[in-house]
A and B are shown apart, each in its own frame.
Chain A
Amino acid sequence: MNKRNINKVLIANRGVPAVRIMHTCRDRKIPTTAVYSTPDRLAHHVFMADTAVHIGEAPPIESYLNMDKMIDAALMSKADAIHPGWGFLAENEKFAQRVIDAGLIWIGPSPKVIRLMGDKIAAKELAQKANVPTIPGISDVTDISQIKKWMKSEKIIFPIMIKASAGGGGKGMVKVESEDRMEQAFSQARSEAKKAFGDETVLVEKYIERGRHIEVQIVGDEYGNVIHLFERECTLQRRNQKIIEEAPSPTLDEDLRQEICFTAVRLMREIGYTTAGTVEFIFDSSTRKFYFLEVNTRLQVEHGITELITGLDIVGIMLDVVTGKKLPFKQSDIRPNRWALEVRLNAEDPKTFSPSFGTITRLEIPHGPGVRIASGVYEGADIPPYYDSLFMLLMTAGADREDAVMTMDRALSRNLRVEGVKTLAPLLLSIIRHPSFISGEFSTRFIEEHMDELISMFKEKTSEDEALKVARYVAEISALGHQKWM
């Protein structure tokens, strides 16, 4: 294939993914174009880029999901490639096709692969064809009587999961515990699917109780080389969204690790996958079996921990592959030698998970040995209410799991300070200090099962924070005069 060159990359995204991608572009001295909606005018990613283009108003449909404006922005700013990041248009085959049609380089797998994998039903069929174990289920459900019939004939017992066929990221997924909840869950899943993906098609699967979520990072080039970069464990979720990930998985033994990784490679080779992608599995720890869930045809949020254990730059690999370069390594060259942990810092109330937006009035970013931070914000930045609440990823690495956890504890408890918005930090800290997390014994339901215990562990004070409270008092008294009773 032809070798191409990238002279400038437009990142069709905002916040953490945009900043992450710009870092690699800076490494390679490739100029970048940022896009921004009106409320993001002063956002961090805008200033990271070499050029910035306003693409519309706050609602994503007018800005970050607006394909016309994205392509216009690329052409106008003389970008010749588009990286979609994750979320927004990242798994939109139509967009990928339009990028290519506009004569630009699409930094991701081909539209065909995206389409194939984006259709959960087709993906599952493909997996079955590639001899990858899948969860029992039915597709194209339009009516709950279909679900009842299937459950009867396949002897499926509750709980079951209704999912958007076009889904991902936890949206449009509803768990059903009993028959009388089915009707409501079904319509909820369809309406969420419609809202999130513009497609209300849903599928239904058996729900694996206390399952663990394990995924394999894959990279592939245009020459048929498909290599795995080992697995990540992403079991800790709240409302079906991951909040803590680690690599390697503490659950797998070496045999299972090899098996799951090569199963993923087999599938991706079958598909003809290029650039970076992830094969997600659910692992039933009681039977020690894993089942195929889906393929994410994009850069994954948690790719950073794989980078930490392998020393590779996955965004860099994507840039190379789409310019026709061969993967510069063989499978046997990939030898992870670290343990890495990631927590997602969302602007949310750590007890209720309701989103918290506003201005970040104080931001101290962790640093020191073993820490990697991917931040979408700066002190003084606004977190607008329109988009995803993730604003920072904290990653730590160590020689073993204990090291990585210890460093994360330090980063969260002694380094990180965020004021102005609420964050998940207290919850994240409580989780990594919980005995079940430390022993590696947890399931996707860990947080809901231990919420009260976790909340009670929230309090942590440092003299630095306390001094700022004293300063706030001095500020108030200085401005307002002494208190009434004085």
Chain B
Amino acid sequence: MKNNIFAKPGMSPKEIVNAVRSLKGVCFTSVGMRDAGQSDFKNRHRIYDLKTLAPYYNNMGLFSAESHGGARWHVGIMNRREDPFEECRILRENMPDVLLQTLIRETNLWGYRPYPKNVIEHAVSRVDIDIWRCFSFLNDVRNMRSVAETVMKRGRLFEPTISFTVADWATNEYYLGVVGDIIDLCGGIDEIVLCIKDMAGVGDVNRIGNLIDAVKQKYPELVINYHRHITDGLAIPAFLAAAKAGAKIFDVEEDSLVRFYGHSPMLGVHAIFEESGIPVHFGRKEAEAAVQKVREWIGHYEWAESPFKGLDHTVTLHKMPGGAFPSSFEQAQKAEFLHLMPAILKMMSLYNRVVKYFDVTPGSQITWVTCSGIINRYAKERGDVGVRHITELMSEFVEEKAQDFEAMQKGGQEELLMLFRNAPGDFKNLLMGNYGKLPVGWPAEWVYKSAFGDEWQDKIKERKELSPLDSITADDLEKIRRELSDMLGRAATEEEFILYLMHPKDALEFIEFREKFGEAPLVLPTGVWREGLKKPGDRVDFELWGKPYSIELVSIGAEHEGVIHVVMRVNNKTRVYKVETPRAKKAETKMAKGPNEIGAPINGNIWRIGNPERGTLRVGDIVHKGEEIANLEAMKMENAIMAPFDGQITEVCVKLNDTVQEGQMIFVLDKIEVKEQEPIGRID
């Protein structure tokens, strides 16, 4: 078999870029190991199964394999209990000739909030990845600087990415401006690949061809990668248009992995390109084998697929990207507001014309939580009539009145001014510039009035024009490392430290899990990983560190006082395992009841007690009305908990990183009496 490899680890960015330029036609990035799983299978694909594709990838002639980043890192730590560092090592061993690619959210890295510059540099310089695809949900290229510099200094390939959407303001001129900023940042076009991230897959066929053509006209030598989800049903023709316009690299996945929210099938795309006279550098035989291999294990993940299946061209209106689309339906079903989904999607399509940014993490979550929150509030307060009313009001404002606030009637104005009052903390962070500049300027003043009430002018004054890179103060890394080591009771490894920097609570749980269960996540077949052994005599054979092991179930005892005894034969030796049931572990949770007891607004995780200005709050501290006293993270969103009155903290009922449920008591405050204040028009 001839060697299909044209780019591999160890080559300099310039060599890689030149190798792509000199290809006769186009080539592929396989997202089968990352985005495919994230879009349609909730990131549940285990490295145990994915690594079976690696031998085929190794000679498939891919540009790269996206195997890392996005939410895969976080879900790996949190659920699959796999560590992104060990995933890289496993893939390096099994496909040494393939460039490994990550997806990184500029200053947010692999997390959901901006990290300080020193954290970015520390993490980026220690993760063994060849290609760094980096996007900003605001297209704020300034936010990419630290990642770009660190990656390029390491001699790895930086792949700056422009977030793409379709909107009246999202013109070629706008995008060329972003590309210009990127080229300035990266010192030219010879050591980068530019990615166009059509995250929601909303560009119609002509739009895509037209944009890529415009970019290529201006920068003929720039290597362009087109990334597009398939939900609208037009991905393959759009690929063809992009290829004809000069895009060089296309994101594809195994045909057998393709569902509704991910990417195009590699064999299908290959076929249509070839038929259209566009040569593809691609090991078709290996790809066919990989497609076949997927079938051996994909059945284990049916449970992870969304029950909401199917393509939907209306994605071009609400623009909810990739896997966020089905998962929003699932959330709605779970929280019993599925019937509100049409209204929520309508609200999103209007909202994204008012507050302009791109529907990519974390933007897509901000849009979803904000809009679903508004609709739910109206549903709760005023029923279906209220829901209809608010969508009509927004339609009127956006579509008929072209967002002319003064043109609205008084009642409508008043309502708009309350629209964002209960919006999540991250929506307010966005307005405050904490993520960076919005792509085409800040929202109108009424949005600030709506979000912040009387304080709106102060808030606009406080709004940050700097990139978070320049406004967030450095973390004391050695202090954090010591804090982690203290919690572990031993020195933390460098990798554990980086996991902890990204997601403190989940990293700790991950480390604890692995200390208890060792390499179970890596060595157990997916069926056993998920369900264990069911009947007496069921057996799992596996290899650990090159030696054979066998576990056979003998019996599972009945539950008694919160304990079940499980008898198993481990390499022929009978052992009894005492398993505590959740009933045995249940602890009492105190709920906030009195007016002095501050409860959690929603289910989530307390990741900060206090606020960045004052640091950690303790018993005895005086807090002021409206001051943030804790912050809760839920569904990737931050939610500030504010002091409802001036008071002194008499009890802190939670610890940092505790998971709390809605209404659970977080603080007890003693009221400090001050002179009576004018009641103001707040509904919270």
Q: Are B532 and A474 in contact (CB under 8 A)?
A: yes
Q: How far is the CA of A458 from the CA of B519 in the complex (A)?
A: 19
Q: How far is the CA of A467 from the CA of B518 in the complex (A)?
A: 8
Q: How far is the CA of A468 from the CA of B519 in the complex (A)?
A: 10
* A331 located at the interface, meaning its Cβ lies under 8 Å from any Cβ of chain B in the complex: no
Which listed residue, A362, A456, A469, A475, touches B491 by the CB 8 Å rule?
Answer: A456
A467-B491 contact given A472-B516, A479-B564, A482-B530, CB 8 Å threshold: no
A-side contacts of B579, CB under 8 Å: 475-476, 479-480
Q: Are B570 and A467 in contact (CB under 8 A)?
A: yes
Q: Are B530 and A469 in contact (CB under 8 A)?
A: no
Q: Are A471 and B544 in contact (CB under 8 A)?
A: no
A90 to chain B, nearest CB (A): 37
Report B249-280 CB contacts with A as 1/0, cut-off 8 Å.
00000000000000000000000000000000
* A286 located at the interface, meaning its Cβ lies under 8 Å from any Cβ of chain B in the complex: no
Q: What residue in chain B is nearest A463 (Cβ atoms)?
A: B545
* B490 located at the interface, meaning its Cβ lies under 8 Å from any Cβ of chain A in the complex: yes
A-side contacts of B570, CB under 8 Å: 467-468, 471
* A351 located at the interface, meaning its Cβ lies under 8 Å from any Cβ of chain B in the complex: yes
Q: Are B491 and A473 in contact (CB under 8 A)?
A: no
B-side contacts of A469, CB under 8 Å: 516-520
A473-B517 contact given A463-B545, A463-B547, A466-B545, CB 8 Å threshold: yes
Q: Are A475 and B566 in contact (CB under 8 A)?
A: yes
B355 to chain A, nearest CB (A): 32
* B234 located at the interface, meaning its Cβ lies under 8 Å from any Cβ of chain A in the complex: no
Report B529-549 CB contacts with A as 1/0, cut-off 8 Å.
111111000001010110101
**Residue of A351, A463, A470 with most chain B CB atoms under a 10 A cut-off:** A470
A468 to chain B, nearest CB (A): 6
Which listed residue, B303, B489, B540, B551, touches A486 by the CB 8 Å rule?
Answer: B303
Q: Are A470 and B518 in contact (CB under 8 A)?
A: yes
A-side contacts of B519, CB under 8 Å: 466, 469-470
Q: How far is the CA of A485 from the CA of B43 in the complex (A)?
A: 12
Q: Are B542 and A470 in contact (CB under 8 A)?
A: yes
Q: Are B577 and A475 in contact (CB under 8 A)?
A: yes
B-side contacts of A482, CB under 8 Å: 530-532
Which listed residue, A465, A471, A486, touches B530 by the CB 8 Å rule?
Answer: A486
B-side contacts of A362, CB under 8 Å: 575
Q: Are B568 and A471 in contact (CB under 8 A)?
A: yes
Which listed residue, B44, B529, B530, B571, touches A467 by the CB 8 Å rule?
Answer: B571
* B556 located at the interface, meaning its Cβ lies under 8 Å from any Cβ of chain A in the complex: yes
A464 to chain B, nearest CB (A): 9
Which listed residue, A458, A459, A470, touches B523 by the CB 8 Å rule?
Answer: A470
Which listed residue, A467, A478, A479, touches B549 by the CB 8 Å rule?
Answer: A467
A-side contacts of B303, CB under 8 Å: 486
A475 to chain B, nearest CB (A): 4
Q: How far is the CA of A458 from the CA of B489 in the complex (A)?
A: 11
Q: How far is the CA of A485 from the CA of B81 in the complex (A)?
A: 12
Q: Are A475 and B568 in contact (CB under 8 A)?
A: yes
Interface size class of A (residues with CB under 8 A): 20 to 34
A-side contacts of B457, CB under 8 Å: none
Which listed residue, A455, A458, A459, A474, touches B568 by the CB 8 Å rule?
Answer: A474
A459-B566 contact given A470-B549, A474-B533, A476-B579, CB 8 Å threshold: no
B559 to chain A, nearest CB (A): 8
**Residue of B547, B556, B566 with most chain A CB atoms under a 10 A cut-off:** B566
Q: Are A479 and B490 in contact (CB under 8 A)?
A: no
* B471 located at the interface, meaning its Cβ lies under 8 Å from any Cβ of chain A in the complex: no
A-side contacts of B568, CB under 8 Å: 471, 474-475
B515 to chain A, nearest CB (A): 8
Q: How far is the CA of A465 from the CA of B518 in the complex (A)?
A: 9
A459 to chain B, nearest CB (A): 7
* B672 located at the interface, meaning its Cβ lies under 8 Å from any Cβ of chain A in the complex: no
Interface Cβ pair total, 8 Å cutoff? 103
Which listed residue, A455, A476, A478, touches B490 by the CB 8 Å rule?
Answer: A455
A467-B544 contact given A456-B490, A476-B579, A482-B531, CB 8 Å threshold: yes
Interface size class of B (residues with CB under 8 A): 35 or more
Q: What residue in chain B is nearest A351 (Cβ atoms)?
A: B489
* A122 located at the interface, meaning its Cβ lies under 8 Å from any Cβ of chain B in the complex: no
* B602 located at the interface, meaning its Cβ lies under 8 Å from any Cβ of chain A in the complex: no
Beta-carbon contacts under 8 Å, B574-609 to A: 575, 577, 579, 581-582
* B444 located at the interface, meaning its Cβ lies under 8 Å from any Cβ of chain A in the complex: no
Q: How far is the CA of A455 from the CA of B485 in the complex (A)?
A: 12
* B79 located at the interface, meaning its Cβ lies under 8 Å from any Cβ of chain A in the complex: yes
* B653 located at the interface, meaning its Cβ lies under 8 Å from any Cβ of chain A in the complex: no
A-side contacts of B516, CB under 8 Å: 469, 472-473
Q: How far is the CA of A151 from the CA of B284 in the complex (A)?
A: 92
**Residue of B529, B533, B575, B577 with most chain A CB atoms under a 10 A cut-off:** B577
* A477 located at the interface, meaning its Cβ lies under 8 Å from any Cβ of chain B in the complex: yes
Report A98-109 CB contacts with B as 1/0, cut-off 8 Å.
000000000000
Report B62-90 CB contacts with A as 1/0, cut-off 8 Å.
00000000000000001100000000000
A480-B577 contact given A467-B544, A470-B517, A473-B524, CB 8 Å threshold: no
Q: What residue in chain B is nearest A458 (Cβ atoms)?
A: B490
Q: What residue in chain A is nearest B564 (Cβ atoms)?
A: A479
Q: How far is the CA of A466 from the CA of B543 in the complex (A)?
A: 11
Which listed residue, A459, A468, A477, touches B532 by the CB 8 Å rule?
Answer: A477
B-side contacts of A351, CB under 8 Å: 489
A307 to chain B, nearest CB (A): 33
Q: How far is the CA of A479 from the CA of B491 in the complex (A)?
A: 34
**Residue of B534, B570, B582 with most chain A CB atoms under a 10 A cut-off:** B570
Q: How far is the CA of A17 from the CA of B455 in the complex (A)?
A: 78
* B508 located at the interface, meaning its Cβ lies under 8 Å from any Cβ of chain A in the complex: no
B-side contacts of A480, CB under 8 Å: 564, 579, 581-582
Q: How far is the CA of A368 from the CA of B622 in the complex (A)?
A: 67
Beta-carbon contacts under 8 Å, A350-381 to B: 351, 362
Q: How far is the CA of A477 from the CA of B523 in the complex (A)?
A: 15
**Residue of B44, B532, B556 with most chain A CB atoms under a 10 A cut-off:** B532
Q: How far is the CA of A467 from the CA of B577 in the complex (A)?
A: 14
Q: How far is the CA of A448 from the CA of B46 in the complex (A)?
A: 46
A-side contacts of B517, CB under 8 Å: 469-470, 472-473
B-side contacts of A486, CB under 8 Å: 44, 79, 303, 530
A459-B577 contact given A466-B544, A478-B556, CB 8 Å threshold: no
Beta-carbon contacts under 8 Å, A83-119 to B: none
* B348 located at the interface, meaning its Cβ lies under 8 Å from any Cβ of chain A in the complex: no
Q: How far is the CA of A476 from the CA of B566 in the complex (A)?
A: 8
* B289 located at the interface, meaning its Cβ lies under 8 Å from any Cβ of chain A in the complex: no
Q: What residue in chain A is nearest B581 (Cβ atoms)?
A: A480
* B19 located at the interface, meaning its Cβ lies under 8 Å from any Cβ of chain A in the complex: no
Q: What residue in chain A is nearest B524 (Cβ atoms)?
A: A470
Q: How far is the CA of A184 from the CA of B184 in the complex (A)?
A: 72
B-side contacts of A468, CB under 8 Å: 570, 575
Q: How far is the CA of A463 from the CA of B581 in the complex (A)?
A: 28
Beta-carbon contacts under 8 Å, A426-460 to B: 455-456, 458-459
Q: How far is the CA of A456 from the CA of B564 in the complex (A)?
A: 36
Q: What residue in chain A is nearest B531 (Cβ atoms)?
A: A482
B-side contacts of A483, CB under 8 Å: 79
B-side contacts of A465, CB under 8 Å: 518
* B311 located at the interface, meaning its Cβ lies under 8 Å from any Cβ of chain A in the complex: no
Q: Are B531 and A463 in contact (CB under 8 A)?
A: no
Q: Are B545 and A471 in contact (CB under 8 A)?
A: no
Given contacts A470-B551, A475-B579, 5 further A-B contacts (CB under 8 A): A469-B516, A477-B531, A480-B564, A480-B582, A482-B532
Interface pairs (26), CB distance under 8 Å: A362-B575, A455-B490, A458-B490, A459-B490, A467-B544, A468-B570, A468-B575, A469-B518, A470-B523, A471-B568, A471-B570, A474-B528, A474-B533, A474-B540, A475-B577, A475-B579, A476-B579, A477-B532, A478-B532, A478-B556, A479-B532, A479-B579, A479-B581, A480-B579, A480-B581, A481-B532
Residue ranges of A at the interface with B (Cβ–Cβ < 8 Å): 351, 362, 455-456, 458-459, 463, 465-483, 485-486
The 9 tightest CB contacts between A and B, nearest first, are: A469-B518, A478-B532, A477-B532, A475-B577, A473-B520, A475-B566, A473-B517, A466-B518, A463-B545
